[in-house]
Amino acid sequence: MTYGLDRAWVPLSKDGRIKTRDLEIQPVLEREAVLFCLDNQQLRSVEMVERLVACRDAIHRAVEKGGPAAYAVRQDRVERTWP
Report the distance separating Cα 10 and Cα 48, nearest Å: 16
The reported pTM is 0.91
Instruction: Tell me the pLDDT tens digit for each residue of 34-76.
Output: 999 999 999 999 999 999 999 999 999 999 999 999 999 999 9
Domain ranges of the chain: 2-82
Taking residues 21-29, report their average pLDDT.
Answer: 93
Report the distance separating Cα 66 and Cα 19, nearest Å: 16
